[in-house]
Structure 1
Amino acid sequence: MLGLETERNSAFSLRYFNRDGSETQFCGNGILCAAQWIHETGDRRNPIEFRWGGARYKVWMVKGRAQAELPQARNVELDMHLQLGGVVSYVVIGVPHVVTFEDELEHIDVNRLGRKIRSDPSLSPEGANVDFCQVVGSDRIRVRTYERGVESETLSCGSGAAAAFYIAHRRGMVGDRVKVSAPAAKTTISVDRGQMVFEGKPVLVYSGVLEQP
């Protein structure tokens, strides 16, 4: 669930809650959806500025698509040795992510392996989202993500796509602009002078009114 609040300085404040009720400090898909919704309600400011977890992000609307600044990558470990075995990559892009590279994704048991890696003592106490990544070419990658807080595979994870891109880019496996395919979304991530940008077009599925008792 995404909470949106207008601030006095004309920026917007965002909060995001996982299925288990925990609050997370960033959601790539969430910031795109918030910007798209603001734009579709008739607010034509461009860029749209958000405050989230003590940081500020700008989102530009370009030809009906949202282009969002992403958090700077932190705590990067290209080769992290898990206590339960195996070597993965680790990066925090707003939230912590483990990235593994696979030859194919169709037969990966994302829930079983993701749950095991997410709970590895090396990642304690926060844990991490787990992104299984397949590099298809220098301008295309595929990603499946196990998300903490949801504790299951999700159909699309924006920060997961960014984490996969960042690690693949650092390893020289992809170029500066890449199309990312998840089970339910196709997005684009690029980097220019150290700033990553996440681009996509969220689609309004339904609208309604939530009545609280």
Structure 2
Amino acid sequence: MNSTQPDYWEQAVSDLKKKDRILKRIIPLHSEKKLLSSESPFITLANSIISQQISTKTASIIWGKFVKIFGQSPSPKDIIHNKREELMSIGLPKRKVDYLYDLAIHFHEKKINPDKWIDMDDESVISELSSIKGIGRWTSEMFLIFNLRRPDVMPLDDTGLIRAISLHYFSGEPVSRFEAREVSVAWRPWRTVASWYLWCSIE
């Protein structure tokens, strides 16, 4: 686990506090928190698949059970050689178990090349990840944020982020993707950082 902030973080915080009065208020309240990142692309993606469409609390519980089976650093081979029933027994639906197997196969058979992702632009990484079952735009964007630590990702499909934007910018009123995108224009090129602090604000 990488616990150091990305090199751009301090500059991003400074710029965002100047650009956005709401972030100027929110950021100091969470200054002690850090964007933790997994150094393993496989583990990051497995965690993201498990976390899809469930609460953070539920995802944490299931991930804890997952780690009890495979340890802190499971390999693709570990997943492939495990019985699907055991994965389903920790609370994973069959659909997500299938996704985890497909993810493991892609890594094990080298159908994808994670070593190249560091040099690829965001959309190219998203395109390659989409070849894996169960990995859509949201999961890819979480990977860009929490593994590759890209500075300007705006995950418009994230319900937590939309809820935070609604709370802080629209007095709790429903917010469309278009409205959220419009709010985020001022955050460029640091939308990852803005999103992260907004997530912190609703924890």
Normalised TM-score (structure 1): 0.23
Larger strand share, 1 or 2: 1
Larger helix share, 1 or 2: 2
**Larger relative contact order (CA 8 Å, sep ≥ 6):** 2
Normalised TM-score (structure 2): 0.24
